[in-house]
Amino acid sequence: MYEMCAGVEKPGGALVWHVMAKHTTTTLCGQTLSQHVDGASAQRAGHCSTCMALFGKLMTAPPAVGSPAATDH
């Protein structure tokens, strides 16, 4: 499961929407989002291109070997 999370693209960079797996503290592109982002700024943010690319690969890749979902056949 993944969720969108607003944060800076890189430290000191522009605000973007990252993709983050649930129950983790690191985005797909490797950022740790520590600072709170206000809603008004987040609404104007774009999307993190790195997260989008990685997320697209995850959606098309087969389940990882060893994950519970991969053991049902």
DSSP label of 62: P
The reply on whether position 20 binds Zn ion by CB under 5 A is no
Residue nearest to Zn ion (CB): 48
For residue 24, how many C-alpha atoms fall within 13 Å in the half-sphere facing its CB?
Answer: 17
Tell me the site size for Zn ion, rule CB under 5 A.
5
Other CB atoms closer than 10 Å to residue 36's CB: what's the count? 7
Cβ proximity to Zn ion, 32 vs 63, nearer residue: 32
Whether 16 contacts 48, CB under 8 Å: yes
Cβ proximity to Zn ion, 10 vs 70, nearer residue: 10
Cβ proximity to Zn ion, 46 vs 63, nearer residue: 46
